[in-house]
Structures are given as structure tokens and as C-alpha cells.
Amino acid sequence: MAEQIPLCPVRSAAAAANCKRAAYFSAAGPGPGAERPSRYQLEDESAHLDEMPLMMSEEGSENDESDYHKLPRARIMRRKRGLEWFVCGGWKFLCTSCCDWLINICQRKRELKARTVWLGYPEKCEEKHPRNSIKNQKYNVFTFIPGVLYEQFKFFLNLYFLVVSCSQFVPALKIGYLYTYWAPLGFVLAVTIMREATDEFRRFQRDKEVNSQLYSKLTVRGKVQVKSSDIQVGDLIIVEKNQRIPSDMVFLRTSEKAGSCFIRTDQLDGETDWKLRVAVSCTQRLPALGDLFSINAYVYAQKPQLDIHSFEGTFTREDSDPPIHESLSIENTLWASTVVASGTVIGVVIYTGKETRSVMNTSNPKNKVGLLDLELNQLTKALFLALVALSVVMVTLQGFSGPWYRSLFRFLLLFSYIIPISLRVNLDMGKAAYGWMIMKDENIPGTVVRTSTIPEELGRLVYLLTDKTGTLTRNEMVFKRLHLGTVSYGTDTMDEIQNHLVNSYSQTQSQASGNNASSAPPRKAQSSAPKVRKSVSSRVHEAVKAVALCHNVTPVYEARGAAGETEFAEADQDFSDDSRTYQASSPDEVALVQWTESVGLTLVNRDLTSMQLRTPGGQILTYCILQTFPFTSESKRMGVIVRDESTAEITFYMKGADVAMSTVVQYNDWLEEECGNMAREGLRTLVVAKRALTEEQYQDFESRYNQAKLSIHDRTLKVAAVVESLEREMELLCLTGVEDQLQADVRPTLEMLRNAGIKIWMLTGDKLETATCIAKSSHLVSRTQDTHVFRPVTSRGEAHLELNAFRRKHDCALVISGDSLEVCLKYYEHEFVELACQCPAVVCCRCAPTQKAHIVKLLQQHTGRRTCAIGDGGNDVSMIQAADCGIGIEGKEGRQASLAADFSVPQFKHIGRLLMVHGRSSYKRSAALSQFVMHRGLIISTMQAVFSSVFYFASVPLYQGFLVVGYATVYTMFPVFSLVLDQDVKPEMAMLYPELYKDLTKGRSLSCKTFLVWVLISIYQGGILMSGALVLFESEFVHVVAISFTALVLTELLMVALTVRTWHWLMVVAELLSLGCYVASLAFLSKYFDLAFITTVTFVWKVSAITVVSCLPLYVLKYLKRKLSPPSYSKLSS
């Protein structure tokens, strides 16, 4: 059926022709010519796309309904108009818009422009640039108090308390003592302000530490020390080894002889491997440092941008004849927040402060509010409406006699306990208790709670977005497999490779010594020579040599006690193994070179033009590097052309992903199958091949290559075409398999989260192949599932076709690159998110930090579900701050993510317990606690309503002074608060049956249904207590107060016992303590109670009778419900 459906439901033949053409080009593969057709596509294609709906929409498609997914329809909110709109949040929207408008006027954003920066002369800058200071604070001295108060009173609950408390200053409305209203409110505000002040002060200290770091600045008079915050555009800054780069710079000079240096970028892009950066050759060639001021030169830099992987600029020296022009790219830059890993560097500052790449890629932290708090806010609004309705009914029954509006206000205040002021206090204390429990849990040591306001969010998560490098993986690569087609070597047979190498090199050495007398001319490569079947030994030798030569790895030697920063041992060639470390832009490369060292062929030295290998016999082989073709995400392969100094042979070595290499190597029947086998084992595969070149072939290639590099138009296409002319009929040498070590227990943790109904998305800055490989090896994508790799798209038409192709796939994981994602979100945001949300897993690779945050926000907007982001590097901070709940892992990439997160854990495996146990219990406990506190307020308000009704609708309080305060604090606070110790299932059960977590995401513990049940319970109990006391009281009114209040306190204590599911010894203590406090305090309450009456048997039986009538039916109902429809967890615990 699916095959009969055209990719696009179309209207006309012209559109169909366009469709075919687009489909043909999209199938053309990623060759150098693949991009060309899309440029020449017809102008009117986008016009037809507007008529052509994606297959998701039913309209416009004439095909059979049964072929389509029944997709959930878009939640498109119809705009409300007029008064309805204003009441339903329009006022909030208007206020926010006005504030934003005022802020925009006050902080007019400057337009970002390209700039010309003169070396060492900041004063020559034509316009003002931002200060180079880092500021992570939310408030300043003036905005702190107003800001914190606004954040508190924007919630209806707190605003209501404030209005009620202020009303007590009006004598006509005064009901009780001022402290009964202001004490709880003052307590909540004091705690909040202290907490915010502490957090803000910590941020201020961290910023101050970074901004006051000292750097050497080069001036005409020599070096001077400047603070990081005082650095300006145009300054020449000297950065030492292991020092943070303070601002975005262009790399001018280095102490390294090679004219290059390494930088660590883990806090910028999350990758722990070192990056090679090259100094501008014109300034590197200058004899002395001071000569930078003797030349007349400037850098032209593009306007500040988000993209951390690209840069375009030019370096111009005007005082030479002719003027020198050098093009600048990403390899000539030193971005802020990276760290110099080798040598000392000098750079000219081009961007500062807000315009640096690292700051532009971080978002402002938002104040996170839990879903439970928002739900309670809605319930308080409902209670407020009930309060107003009840007051109006009372005034109406009173007959609007006298100053009725004053009576209305007094009734509003009398019934104000319907919204209990202690709700906020209890919840905040509960949250603090949950945070303490999480940090004290011995099963997840080292866990830190940094945001104590949202522990319940851990129990409501639906989407979990995780980083890859350092979060799911350790970023430690281990070489596992070498396959030569007919023979495969694993970790246990590496000694055989070693023996083959020793034999091979000993033979070549003996041949070389034999040929010493007659120095033979260099042998020419004969492509037409007959093929001779090589021995296994020579094939192993060729394969290992290729792996040892084809890479971008540099050996670095740490100076042992020597004076100065000598990184490379040059003259004496003291290549001691114990002081050598390898650096490269990818940890895979390092793993391969470390493996060749382990089998006997060691890379001992490398610079920009040559590299040296040491054979098992100790002989040094030197190779001249003629050309290097770096790895790109488009080509998916890297190559190097080297000349062997001893034989003058020129060889082109290449390695890359199997998809890119299978078309380049000679025909074989094993490559595809073996690549599949290794991928299933979770290994990252690389295909290695070579081609011997003659001197003439190389010279011809070099002239064409240099010509292509100088072209202005379509430079990348022309260069790719020239390189491709070499990539033909290459000899396949071997297939390598490298394993990225996963974090401990990643697989069982991911499986547990999946069983809990949590959808996992992996967002990584890494390559597509690597991301796919880790998704499979970590079981993020299960073995039975297919993966749909979303092909690279650049235009609306391509995105349209690819989305239609993806729509046909059922139950398969999606793998998409950041660039394609950007295009899809630009034209088909809603359709893409709707399709992606149906996938069991999604992998987004090559994601920029801001893109990660954008994906989080999209999920929040389109699904309305709770999201959690997990990461360990500086590049994950934006995502962590954007998510409803951010978890940071303290890893190799520093502590930046863990400091910015709401929760910090040392290992990924701890997330299972954090969510299943602590998330569950925090949400369940808070739901029970908040509903019980509301019940406590509703019951006393019901009693007040009954009392006022009996006594001619008088607005007179039933309980006064201390009785009201004591009821909400001393008498019932401890038992009610002890609900934070309650648990429905044991932690072991919650971990064993993660399916229990699914129920939590539906929010059934605190819903309209449960709330209404508590309201009915409160009305029943309040009515029974008050009417019972009125029926049974004898001569004096004071007896009504005594009987009803005692029964009320006993009822509350019994209700706590009814609510508890698992008893804790502290709960029993709290019950007994509260009862003891009440009995003891009776002696001091003669103002309210008749002490003589309290000590009689009559008082005791009347109170007991009322209490039993109010509580016994509820106990019976609870027992019947447990028997007839037990909750899911009770089946497990039994």
C-alpha cells in the first residue's frame, strides 16, 4: 500500500515534475555535485509547497485513510477576545508587554557589526564595544528586593495573603490579632529573601573571581598586568599555558617552534579532546615580540555570531610592499572560556564581554516553578471563588441590612481560612526536608540539591534530554578490533600483530642493509602491475603503518624539571615514553595511535611538515607530510599524503566512515557485513585505505589543488572535486573498531527510565556516526528498533520530502543533525515536533549549545509536559537552565554544568534512584501535605459558616486569638508535617517496578477529583463537629467553643492517622506530642474554656461522640475502597 502513495500529494503536473526532480536530487548521495542541483531548482518550488500539505494533514490528500498515522491534532489555542481574554490572563500579558517595552527602551540593543581591529591600538576602534566582564547575577542592589517580592507575589496564593494581612490595619475590618496574619507571611518572605540573597552573593563572588584574573598585556612600553574585565578590543594579550583565554582573540604568535598550539574547549563545546590552533604566519615569522608594534597591521573580523565552529576574517599588513593579505578561519582563533594547553600564546582581542561566543551561547537563568506549585495556584483561585460565593450568600441571607459591604468584607476575612496561610510555610519546609533526604541518601552519595523549590518535578518527568560525551560515556576510547578481510584480531590476539610487525621490520631492515652498497633509485608505483597475494604478515604491517600515519595526532612531551616551557624534545630526540601524551581533535584518533604504540610502532614526533615513527627495533622512520585533508561532517573521511624519506615513495592514506569509503575502495565482499557486525557490538568503525602515487601524479594533483584553494567562488566544491580525483580504486587495508567506554550502569538505567514511560532524547555536539553508535551501544535505541537517519536538508523542498519519508516509518528512532533540524524547525516546526514526539528515542547530533536549549523549549511549548536536561559540560548549561528540571554531572569537563543545575550527581546511574524513589516520594508527599493543609482550613471555615448561620448571620469569629494560631501551629502542625515521612511503596519496590512512575505523570495524586473529595470530607466533618456541639451544649455558649474545638483537634489527629500509608516512629511521636501540648495548654486557656466543665465526664463523652461520628464513616469508606479497588502499588507490597 505504502509504495503506491506518491511522496507529495500534489495538484498539478508541474508540481509533480518538481517533486520528481527534488526526489532525484535528494537520492543523489552526498557527493560534491550533490549540492549543485538544489541551487538550480526552479524558483516557484516554494510556491507549490504552500499548496502541498505534508502527509500529516488529512486535507489535500486523495489517498486511502488507512495508510496514515492517526496523529494527535495540534493544540491550537483559539484567541479569546474582549473581557474574557482580559480576565483569562490578558491583564498579565499586557503588563508583561509594557514591562518588556520599557526594558527595551532602557536597554536598546546595539546592532552587531563587522569590525576592523588594529593590532595593539584599542583607541583606533571606531565604535564602543562592551566591557569584558562576566555577569551571572539575576539582580543588582536596587532591583533585589523589588525583584524577589515580585517573584513571590506574582502567585495568587501569596498575593491573597498580603491583601488579607493588610486589611487588618483597617479598624472596621479587624477580626483578630495582627500577628495571626503577619507572622506566617513574614516568615515565608524572610526565608525566601535569605535564600535568594545567599544564592546571589555566591554568584557575585564567582563572577568577581573570574573578572579579577590578571593577564599580561603587550604595550609599546612592554608588558603590563590587566584585569580580565579591563581588556579591550584591539589589546594584545599574552596567555600562559593552563590559563583561561579571557576574550575572543585572533592567534598571532606562540612560543612553540611549530607555530601552532593546543587549546582545551571542554567548557565551550563539551569535547574533552584538545584542538590544534595555528598562528597567523605573518606575525609568527616576526623576529621578536616587540616587532608587533613596528608593523602596521589590522584584522578584519565578521560580526559576532553564535556559531562556535566557524569564523571568517582577514589579516592585512599594510607597510609591506605589496601589502600582505592572509585569510583567517576557525583554526586562527582562540575563543573565550577555552584554556591554552601548550606553550604561551599572544592574540589580538576581537570580541569582548557579551559579544564573545561563549556568552552568546549561554541563556539567562530563569526562576523555575514546579508544576505542583502551579496546580496549587489554580486550586487556590477556585477556593477564593468559593470564599467569595460563601460570603455573598451570607450577606444575602442577612438581607443586605445596614452597611452590607462592610459585612461582606468581614465575612471574607472570617472565611479566609479556606485558603490556609500555612500552606506556603508547610510546603517550603517540606521541600527543604526532601532536599535533605536526597543529600543524605547513602545509595546516591555526592548528590547535591542546588534548587530546593522543585524536588517534586523529579516525579513528573516525561522527556529526558541528555548529553552524550561525559554523560552517557566516559570519553575514554579503547581499541578493540582490527579486521583484514580474511582474518580478525581482537584484544586477546594483539600479541600476534606484534610478532608480525617485529618479523616484517626485521626483514626490511636486513634488506635495507643489504642494499646499502648500491643505493637503488626510488621505486615508482605501478598501478598496472600484476596483483600478487600478500602474506598476512605484510598485510598486518601495511595496515598498522597506515593507522600510525593517517591521523591528526601530535605527541606532546612534558618538560621534566627543565627550565622554560619546552614541549617538544627537538635536538637530542629524547622521546621518552613515560613523559609522552598524545593530543588530537578526536579521542578516536588518540586511541588508534596508542594502539599502534602498544603493538610496537610508535609515533614519536610530529609538526606541520613531518612526522617520525619508531619501529619495534628502535629505528626512526621519517615521513614528510605533503598534504592533509581534515575530517568534515560532509566528507566523513580524512586523508594524508606522505613521502617516505628513506625510499621517496609517495602514498595517499585515507580513513573514514564505511558509507563514505565503500565507494572509494576496490571491490570487496566483506566490508559492509563486518561494519554491521562491529556496529552491533557498539564499536565505532573506521575503514582504512591507501593509494601509491608517482611523483608526476602528485605534482599534477598539487598544482590543481592549489589552484582550487585560491578560487573565490565555490571554493569548497572545487577543492572537493580535486581531492575526489585521487579517491579512486584505493587499496582497502583494514577495518578498525574502537569502543567508547560507557559510564557505569548506563544500560540498566536507560532501560529503567524507558520502562518508567520517560522518552529519552540524546542531544550531542558530536558526529552523526559516533552519536548513532553510542545510541545503539547504550541501548538508548533497542536492538530490535530501526533507526531513521534524517538526510541532510538545506531547503524547504528537501525538508518537505524528507519529513514525508520519515512519516512512513513506524516505531523507529530518529537521528538528525543540527543543520537539518534548523531547516525543519524553520518551515515545519509543529509537524516535525509532532512526529519526533512519537519516536521511542531521538538523537540530535552536531547541536550547538543554544540549539539544545531551543529543543527543550520546543518540547515544553508543543507537549506541555515536564522536561529534564542532563549534562556535564559548559555547553550543556543553556539546556539545563531551560529545562523544568536540570541535572548536572560532575565529570571530566569541569563543574560548570553541575553548578548551574538544580541537582548535581556524580554519575549517570544515580538518576534512576533520584527519579524513581525521591521524585516519586517528593511528589506524593507534597500532594498529600498540601491537600491536608487545605482540609484543615476548609473544616474550620465550614464550622464558622454553620455557627454564623445559627446566630442570625452575624460576622462574629467562632474562635479568637490564640485558639486560631494554636490550631494551625502547635496543635496540628507536627502530625500534618510528619506526612513528609510517608511512603506508599518501599524504595526497593519503586526501583524494581519503574512502571509505577507512569502513574505520577498523569498527576492523579493532586487533581480536581482528589481535591473535591477533600472538600466534601471537610464540609461533612465541619458540619458534624459544629452542629453536634450546638446540639449537645448545655447552658453556656463557652461550652460550644470547648466541645467543638477539642473535637476539631482530635479529628485532625485522627485524620492524619487515616491518611498515613506507612508509619514512621516520628509520626507517632508527633501525634502524641501534639495531643500532650493541647491537654497541657488547657490549664492556661481559661479565657476561652470553662476549666470546671472540661474536667467532667459529660465533656469527655460529648467530645468522643462527636469525634467518632465525624471520623468513623471515613475509616469505613477507606477500608472498603482498599478492599474493592486497591491501588496498583498495594498489589506489589502485599
pLDDT of residue 799: 94
- The per-residue pLDDT for range 676-687, each reduced to its tens digit, is 888 777 788 899
pLDDT of residue 135: 83
pLDDT of residue 107: 54
Establish how many alpha carbons lie within 13 A of residue 908's alpha carbon, considering only the half-sphere containing its beta carbon.
Answer: 29
Range with the lowest mean pLDDT among 439-443, 507-511, 867-871? Answer: 507-511
50 belongs to the catalytic site: no
Q: What is the mean pLDDT of residues 802-821?
A: 92
CA dist 1000 and 875 (Å) reads 31
Which candidate, 264, 308, 361, places its Cα nearest to that of 852? 361
Residue 239 has pLDDT above 50, yes or no: yes
Cell triple for residue 69?
498515522
Which candidate, 872, 818, 895, 769, places its Cα nearest to that of 468? 872
Q: What is the mean pLDDT of residues 777-798?
A: 89
pLDDT of residue 262: 87
Q: What is the mean pLDDT of residues 699-726?
A: 84
pLDDT of residue 1065: 93
Which candidate, 818, 966, 991, 981, places its Cα nearest to that of 913? 991
Our measurement of the distance from residue 474's CA atom to the centroid of its chain's CA atoms, rounded to an integer in Å, reads 17
- The per-residue pLDDT for range 1026-1038, each reduced to its tens digit, is 998 888 876 666 6
> How much of the chain exceeds pLDDT 90, in percent?
40
pLDDT higher for 15 or 251? 251
pLDDT of residue 1047: 93
Average pLDDT over the chain, rounded to an integer = 83
Q: What is the mean pLDDT of residues 795-811?
A: 92
Range with the lowest mean pLDDT among 519-523, 579-583, 657-661? Answer: 519-523
pLDDT of residue 203: 82
- The per-residue pLDDT for range 118-177, each reduced to its tens digit, is 988 888 777 888 999 888 788 888 889 998 998 888 888 788 888 888 988 888 888 777
- The CA radius of gyration of the chain, in Å to the nearest whole number, is 37
pLDDT of residue 570: 39
For residues 972 and 1053, is the Cβ–Cβ distance under 8 A? yes
Query: What pTM was computed for the model?
Result: 0.73
Selection from 1-10, 549-558, 947-956 with the highest mean pLDDT: 549-558
Helices 818-836, 849-863: crossing angle, 10 deg rounding: 20
CA dist 545 and 951 (Å) reads 101
Residue 59 has pLDDT above 80, yes or no: no
pLDDT of residue 16: 43
Q: State the pLDDT confidence band at 53, using cuts at 50, 70 and 90.
A: low
Question: Which residue carries 531547503 as its cell?
Answer: 795
Residue 802 has pLDDT above 80, yes or no: yes
pLDDT higher for 892 or 147? 147
Residue 521 has pLDDT above 70, yes or no: no
Cell triple for residue 278?
595555528
pLDDT higher for 403 or 560? 403
pLDDT higher for 540 or 517? 540
Q: State the pLDDT confidence band at 420, using cuts at 50, 70 and 90.
A: confident
pLDDT of residue 85: 57
Name the active-site residue from 373, 467, 658, 902: 467
Which candidate, 1001, 1048, 996, places its Cα nearest to that of 1021? 1048
Q: What is the mean pLDDT of residues 924-942?
A: 93
Residue 880 has pLDDT above 70, yes or no: yes
Q: State the pLDDT confidence band at 60, using cuts at 50, 70 and 90.
A: very low
pLDDT of residue 11: 39
pLDDT of residue 26: 41
- The per-residue pLDDT for range 1072-1092, each reduced to its tens digit, is 999 999 998 888 877 777 778
For residues 279 and 251, is the Cβ–Cβ distance under 8 A? yes
824 — alpha (psi -120 to 50), left (phi > 0) or beta?
A: alpha
pLDDT higher for 1033 or 331? 331
Residue 1054 has pLDDT above 50, yes or no: yes
Residue 516 has pLDDT above 70, yes or no: no
> How much of the chain exceeds pLDDT 70, in percent?
85
pLDDT of residue 410: 85
pLDDT of residue 102: 65
Q: State the pLDDT confidence band at 645, using cuts at 50, 70 and 90.
A: very high
Which candidate, 882, 1016, 889, 1041, places its Cα nearest to that of 958? 1041
For residues 363 and 350, is the Cβ–Cβ distance under 8 A? no
Task: Please tell me whether residue 480 adopts helix, strand or coil conformation.
Answer: strand
Residue 517 has pLDDT above 50, yes or no: no
Q: State the pLDDT confidence band at 33, using cuts at 50, 70 and 90.
A: very low
Q: State the pLDDT confidence band at 823, using cuts at 50, 70 and 90.
A: very high
Cell triple for residue 380?
487556590
Q: What is the mean pLDDT of residues 1081-1107?
A: 85
- The per-residue pLDDT for range 830-853, each reduced to its tens digit, is 999 999 999 999 999 888 888 999
Q: State the pLDDT confidence band at 1022, using cuts at 50, 70 and 90.
A: very high
Q: What is the 3-state secondary structure (H, E, C) of 303-356?
A: CCCCCCCCCCEEEEECCCCCCEEEEECHHHEECCCCEECCCCEEEEEEECHHHC
Q: State the pLDDT confidence band at 99, using cuts at 50, 70 and 90.
A: low
Q: What is the mean pLDDT of residues 4-33?
A: 41
Q: What is the 3-state secondary structure (H, E, C) of 568-617?
A: CCCCCCCCCHHHEEEECCCHHHHHHHHHHHHCCCEEEEECCCEEEEECCC
Residue 80 has pLDDT above 60, yes or no: no
Count of beta carbons in the 10 Å neighbourhood of residue 809: 14
